[in-house]
């Protein structure tokens, strides 16, 4: 069993957080996002992993290497230009020799892949797609299934009167090698609009596994923030967030409320409050600053008396004294002067 992680996107929806960091390695609770997907695969004993890359591939290779540090074997397939989800699969054809788990590079879930693999094998499927139920089906493309789990059809963003189910494509597939033959070589092609309709037309054994547990697309800033908060709250049963021990540069009066994850290299001055938040490496938090329900990326300095709420602060930012930030996303190296404020999703 092999795995292919589709990690080549530019992360446009997640900007400005992906301007200098490819989405697959943006940190979730201070660990590169890809490590959560690798952990999920390892639990199903899938350790032969192909990363399909396109945007800033060297940064990802530098972080993951050959996978030895993470107890997996990683190889790379780099696209000269974006080829779409199925095109990336075809581009990696020379590395694929057996049944393959395919992951979209922005899916955070703790699904039991052992169960999905067993489901796929028992049905002798050519392809299995994982589906997730959602509250508002009209905002997504839906996937209808038969009672035995066979995929019946795809509905692209139906009107309320057209809704017949609430299950959407969760971005996880198990594919037999022959599925590659349904993808043209060297041109952009999508699973959703190109491959899957062909499988239905050819009456291939194409099944759906419905997962009702944790699943999140981290592709937009609000969802990225929530993913961090979900991990530190223990809602994602994968990698444990950083321990709650105190670093050498944490003032004795600094308060770190559980759940939070604060890297031990940070400096926390007197009266600092960290509440349900993630603070990354080498941040400097000055006196009486409060960070709540937020993510602060590495190398950022937050001035005395400043308040950060429900926000994501990029790498290397400088936040002055008595600044108020609420519901905002700041890109890397942003600067906010003393006594300024930003909020309401700015």
Radius of gyration of the chain (CA): 22
Q: Indicate whether 164 pLDDT > 70.
A: yes
Output the six-digit token pair for 327.
């519901």
- C-alpha 101/C-alpha 181 separation (Å) is 17
**How confident is the model over 58-114, as pLDDT tens digits?**
888 888 989 899 999 999 999 888 888 899 999 999 999 899 999 988 899 999 999
112 secondary structure, DSSP code:
-
Three-state DSSP string of 273-301: EEECCEECCCCEECCCCEEECCEECCCCE
Q: Which fold has domain 255-343?
A: UDP N-Acetylglucosamine Acyltransferase; domain 1 (2.160.10)
CA distance 317 to 251: 22
CB atoms within 10 A of CB 309: 17
At CA 334, angle to CA 332 and CA 340, rounded to 5?
150
pLDDT in tens, 102-138: 998 889 999 999 999 999 999 999 999 999 988 877 7
Highest-pLDDT range among 75-84, 190-199, 319-328: 319-328
Longest Cα–Cα distance in the chain: 67
- Domain 2-232 belongs to what architecture? Alpha-Beta Complex (3.90)
Distance from chain centroid for Cα 252: 35
Position 39 pLDDT exceeds 80: yes
Find where tokens 């952990």 sit: 39
The DSSP secondary structure of 325-346, one letter per residue, reads EES-EE-TT-EE-TT-EEETT-
pLDDT at 345 over 50: no
Same fold, 2-232 and 255-343: no
* 179-191 per-position pLDDT tens digit: 999 999 888 999 9
Residue ranges of the domains in the chain?
2-232, 255-343
% the chain with pLDDT above 70:
97
- Of 103, 149, 121, 93, nearest in space to 9 by CA: 103
The residues carrying an active-site annotation are: 157
């Amino acid at each position: 069993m092999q795995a292919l992680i589709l990690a080549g996107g530019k992360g446009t929806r997640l900007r400005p957080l992906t301007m200098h960091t490819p989405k697959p390695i943006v940190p979730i609770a201070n660990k590169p996002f890809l490590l959560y997907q690798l952990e999920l695969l390892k639990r199903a004993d899938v350790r032969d992993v192909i990363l399909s890359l396109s945007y800033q591939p060297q940064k990802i290779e530098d972080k993951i290497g050959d996978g030895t540090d993470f107890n997996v074997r990683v190889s790379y397939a780099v696209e000269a230009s974006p080829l779409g989800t199925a095109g990336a699969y075809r581009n990696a054809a020379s590395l694929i020799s057996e049944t393959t788990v395919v992951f979209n590079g922005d899916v955070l879930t703790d699904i039991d892949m052992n169960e999905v693999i067993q489901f796929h094998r028992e049905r002798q499927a050519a392809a299995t797609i994982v589906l997730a139920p959602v509250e508002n089906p009209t905002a997504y493309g839906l996937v209808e299934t038969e009672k035995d789990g066979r995929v019946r059809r795809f509905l692209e963003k139906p009107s309320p009167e057209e809704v017949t189910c609430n299950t959407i494509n969760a971005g996880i597939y198990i594919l037999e090698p022959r599925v590659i033959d349904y993808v043209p070589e060297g041109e952009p092609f999508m699973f959703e609009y190109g491959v899957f309709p062909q499988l239905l037309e050819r009456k291939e054994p194409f099944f759906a596994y419905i997962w009702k547990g944790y699943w999140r697309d981290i592709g937009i800033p609000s969802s990225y923030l929530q993913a961090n908060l979900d991990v530190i709250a223990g809602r994602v049963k994968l990698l444990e967030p950083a321990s709650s021990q105190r670093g050498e540069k944490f003032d004795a009066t600094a308060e770190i409320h559980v759940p939070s994850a604060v890297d031990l290299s940070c400096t926390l001055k007197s009266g600092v409050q960290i509440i349900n938040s993630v603070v990354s490496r080498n941040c400097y938090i000055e006196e009486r600053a409060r960070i709540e329900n937020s993510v602060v990326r590495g190398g950022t300095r937050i001035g005395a008396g400043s308040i950060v709420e429900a926000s994501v602060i990029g790498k290397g930012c400088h936040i002055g004294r008595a600044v108020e930030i609420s519901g905002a996303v700041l890109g890397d190296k942003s600067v906010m002067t003393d006594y300024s404020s930003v909020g309401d999703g700015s």
